[in-house]
Structure 1
Amino acid sequence: VDAWFEEDEEVFVHPRDPQVRIDTLQSSAHIQVVLAGVVLADSHRPLVLVETNHPVRYYLPPDDCRLDLLAFSPRTTRCPYKGTASYWSAVIDGTIRENVAWTYRNPIPEIPRIKDLIAFYPEAVDAILRDGEKLA
């Protein structure tokens, strides 16, 4: 089977649970992402994504990220609630840290606001700061 459909809509990974909710909220919180002592992202305009049973994620505009230190990874994954994710690796002083961030180039129609924004894995970087406070 190459694709799975509910009615005429393609299903990614598995059918969506009607009890799961995803909200995106524009924020002016100051978000910084630090890896190996280098600030990879610094934004005052994150999109906050809140998803049932998941940690809050901060999606940042590419203009607020150090794209000169990020390179696309060959890794992709699929999410039934957001679509197909593409990944970024960080390259700092010649050292590659694989898959530290992800983006949705073509999210599913229900979540268009995250298109092309970049989110970082807290466990893959040294710190994600919100208004100067390190997130858990």
Structure 2
Amino acid sequence: MPSHETTPAESVWDYPRPPALQRDPRRIVVECAGQILADTTGALKIMETSHPPVFYVPPGDVRTDLLRASSHHTWCEWKGRADFWDILVGSDIRALAAWSYSDPRPPYEDLVGHFAFYAGRVDRCTVDGYTVRPQEGDFYGGWITPEVRGPFKGGTHTHGW
């Protein structure tokens, strides 16, 4: 297990609004139904006030053959329309477990085709070997790692923040 003692703490309340986008060189792995669904050191990370970061994996590092487009979409005031994806591994179907932006609004154009995953809808997501905790709730999809500090929006009674 990697050491995180030297990683400085980040408060999600110091993250900006509108969200910041940056490259993250750490190794991101997503596992689902016995398969490695995504594995990259080229993720993009979105950081927004009150939310744990969301990691977006380049399409070349995702098993897109295990994804099926859904008819479900949401709208982000910053990034635009999010397209949702189901994960299918044999008879195991994880509905609405991933999302992407096919035409994100400026300045988020680098997100085109990248995939984000709900940590709570797959078996395991790691950042440099650390198993993340999913953000509470069923909307935002942030990943909680040792350096990230809350409180976090998304759980019960936080919709008015």
Question: What is the TM-score with the length of structure 1 in the denominator?
Answer: 0.82
Q: How does 1:80-119 map to 2 (within 5 A)?
A: 80-119=77-116
Instruction: Supply the RMSD in Å over aligned alpha carbons.
Output: 1.2
Structure 2: 5+ residue stretches without partners: 1-15, 134-161
1:76 counterpart = 2:35: no
User: Which residue pairs with 2:11 in the alignment?
Assistant: none
Counterpart AA for 1:48 = K
User: Which residue pairs with 1:28 in the alignment?
Assistant: 25
Q: Distance in 1 between matches of 2:59 and 2:85?
A: 12
Task: Select the structure of larger CA radius of gyration.
Answer: 1
1:121 counterpart = 2:118: yes
Consecutive aligned runs of 4 or more in structure 1 exceeding 4 Å deviation: none
User: Which residue pairs with 1:3 in the alignment?
Assistant: none
Please give the per-residue CA displacement for 1:19-62, whole angstroms capped at 9, x wherever unaligned: 72311111211000011221110011101111111110110101
More deviation in 33-42 or 107-116?
A: 107-116
User: Which residue pairs with 2:35 in the alignment?
Assistant: 38
Structure 1: 5+ residue stretches without partners: 1-18
Q: Distance in 2 between matches of 1:20 and 1:42?
A: 29
Displacement of 1:110 in angstroms is 2.7
Counterpart AA for 2:120 = E
Matched positions, count: 118
Q: Distance in 2 between matches of 1:99 and 1:25?
A: 25
Q: SS of the residue aligned with 2:104?
A: coil
Aligned 8 A contact 2:33 2:92 in 1: no
Aligned 8 A contact 2:67 2:86 in 1: yes
User: Which residue pairs with 1:61 in the alignment?
Assistant: 58
Counterpart AA for 1:78 = W
